[in-house]
Structure formats: C-alpha cells, structure tokens
C-alpha cells in the first residue's frame, strides 16, 4: 500500500505527557520537551499536541521559536495547542485573556492547526446562544493570527454533545470555527454513529480524537475519561465504525489519538506511544493502512 494512503496520526497532548493528568496543578509534563518530541517522532507519529502549562514552560525555556526548530528538524506536519476555557466571560479584565494571548503566540509561531477550547464542567445546556458572539470574537482574533478555533464538546460540560455543538457552529457561521470530535465524548454522551453522521458536516470537523473505553462507566464521567480510557480496539466501543462514519461524511484526517488512563501514564513514554499508535492504526479499514 502506498505510504500516502497511511493515516496520519497525531499524538494529542495527554498521549505523550507521561505521568501527569488533567486538573493536576500544574498540568506540566515531567518529560523534557526535546525528549518528548524525539520519542514522538521515533515512534512514527506525524504530529503532536501540547497543553497550556507545557506551552508556558516551553516559552520560559527554549521559547516558541526554539520549539519550532525542533518541530522542523523532526519533520512534524501537524501541531495542536490547548485548552482555553472561560472565554465567554466578557468582563473588563477576564482571567482567560492572558492565556488566550499565549495560545495565539504559540499557534502562530508553531503553525498550529487550531486552538482547542472547552466549556465549563456542567450539566449540558439546552440554550447555547450566549456562546455565539464570544466564539465569533475568538475566531476573528485567531484568524488574524493564522489559526482557527476548535470547540470540543464533552458530556460533562455546557456543550455536551456533538449534535449540539454542530448546531452551535451553524449559528457561529465562520469557516475558522469548528469542532474537535473525541470519540469518548461521543459515546459517553449517548450519541449513536448514525446521529453523529446526520449532525455533522466535514467542514465542521477540525480535529478528531480516537480512543476506546469499557461499556461500564467507573466513577464520575470526568474520572472515567481521565483514568479509564482504553487503547483503540481494546475496549467495548466501535472505533472502526467511528472512523468509517467520519470518512463517510468526508473527513480525511489527520487523526488524533488521545489515550488517558492510569495504566497509560505508568508506561514508559516510548512503549505507551508505540502501543497507542499501533492499536489506532489497526482500527482503520485495511484499505487505509
């Protein structure tokens, strides 16, 4: 099979972060950035993601220009940066503003595909109209810096499902504002693959995150997503069906892989990255691997 047909896979930030988890304070990887990128490249990924606290550390050490040199040397094709929240708070001096400035600087220097944003932990809301203007504001500013805004719906947040998020995107109606579709958040929200295919268009999908999970939820939804994800194909979800669904609506990649679990965090970085890559590739239809 020609190499060009092989799916391009991105090690999203938590897949390569080592023994650190969301909501740790700080969320800084214990692995030096140079070693981290070398290992990501050596294990066959075409891109990677970094979380905000890692970007702060990078800016304070080698700088974003130094990181860009490492990216170019490694030949990475895709970079993602995350995560901004509270961006709908439009007070005179919002706390999120300096975070957004840093993410904009990082995205511009690193050539990031988008800045990932989320919403507050909450029961999903029915009325999301209050987010339209703030998203337009963020997107307009991001576009001036050469990047885009990608909202990730999560079933324990204000924007709780992909169908709701896709409708929100139609209201925002800007080509530089789209979605990150994380399969864990799809099935834990109770969205079927049929509902997913009917709610989305390919131009709305800026990023995809592949993963797997057991049928049963352990702990809260957040605890389950942080500690109990499974490698692709090793849980009870239909990862191949999810891939085929997105391909059918016209999404062509690249494909992120986001593995978050206590087990994954304990693995040596190279071993964890190799396992995440090989299991994800095995879930693609044979014609695409």
pLDDT at 2: 34
* Tens-place pLDDT, residues 3-53: 347 899 999 999 999 999 999 999 999 999 999 999 999 999 999 999 999
Query: 78 has which bridge partners?
Result: 47
Contact 202, 249 (CB under 8 A): yes
pLDDT at 266: 97
pLDDT at 255: 98
pLDDT at 51: 98
List, in sequence order, the alpha helices (H) in the chain.
33-42, 52-60, 63-74, 96-110, 132-144, 162-172, 183-188, 193-199, 221-227, 239-249, 262-266, 269-282
- Give the whole-angstrom CA distance, residue 79 versus residue 48: 5
Average model confidence (pLDDT) for the chain? 96
* Tens-place pLDDT, residues 206-224: 999 999 999 999 999 999 9
* Tens-place pLDDT, residues 46-94: 999 999 999 999 999 999 999 999 999 999 999 999 999 999 998 766 8
Q: What proportion of the chain, given as a percentage, has pLDDT over 70?
A: 97
pLDDT for residue 99 is more than 50: yes
Query: Quick one: average pLDDT of 244-261?
Result: 97
pLDDT grade, residue 288 (50/70/90)? low
Domains in the chain, CATH or no CATH each: 3-87+97-116+179-194+207-288 (3.20.20.150)
User: Can you tell me whether residue 212 is helix, strand or coil?
Assistant: strand
User: In the block, which residue shows the tokens 């890559």?
Assistant: 277
Length of the chain: 289
* Tens-place pLDDT, residues 169-190: 999 999 999 999 999 999 999 9
Tell me the backbone φ, ψ of residue 150, rounded to 5 degrees. Answer: -125, 115
pLDDT at 122: 95
pLDDT at 1: 29
């Amino acid at each position: 099979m020609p190499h060009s047909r092989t799916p391009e896979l991105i090690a999203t930030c938590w897949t390569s972060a080592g023994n650190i988890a969301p909501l740790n304070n700080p969320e800084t990887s214990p692995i030096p950035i140079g070693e981290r990128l070398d290992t990501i490249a050596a294990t066959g990924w075409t891109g990677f993601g970094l979380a905000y606290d890692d970007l702060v550390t990078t800016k304070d050490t080698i700088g974003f220009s130094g990181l860009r040199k490492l990216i170019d040397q490694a030949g990475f094709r895709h970079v993602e940066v995350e995560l901004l929240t509270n961006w709908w708070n439009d007070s005179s001096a919002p706390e999120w503003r300096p975070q957004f400035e840093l993410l904009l600087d990082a995205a511009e220097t690193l050539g990031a595909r988008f800045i990932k944003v989320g919403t507050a932990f909450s029961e999903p809301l029915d009325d999301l109209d209050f987010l339209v203007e703030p998203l337009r504001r963020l997107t307009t500013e991001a576009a001036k810096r050469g990047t885009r805004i990608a909202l990730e719906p999560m079933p324990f947040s204000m924007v709780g499902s992909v169908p709701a998020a896709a409708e929100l995107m139609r209201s925002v109606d800007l080509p530089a504002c789209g979605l990150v579709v994380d399969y864990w958040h799809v099935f834990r929200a109770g969205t079927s693959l049929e509902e997913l295919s009917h709610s989305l268009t390919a131009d709305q999908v800026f990023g995809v995150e592949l993963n797997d999970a057991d049928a049963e939820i352990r702990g809260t939804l957040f605890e389950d997503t942080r500690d109990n994800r499974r490698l692709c194909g090793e849980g009870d979800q239909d990862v191949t069906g999810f891939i085929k669904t997105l391909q059918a609506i016209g999404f062509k990649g690249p494909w992120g892989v986001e593995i978050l679990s206590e087990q994954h965090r304990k693995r040596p970085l190279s071993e964890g990255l190799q396992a995440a890559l090989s299991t994800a590739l095995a879930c693609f239809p044979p014609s695409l691997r």
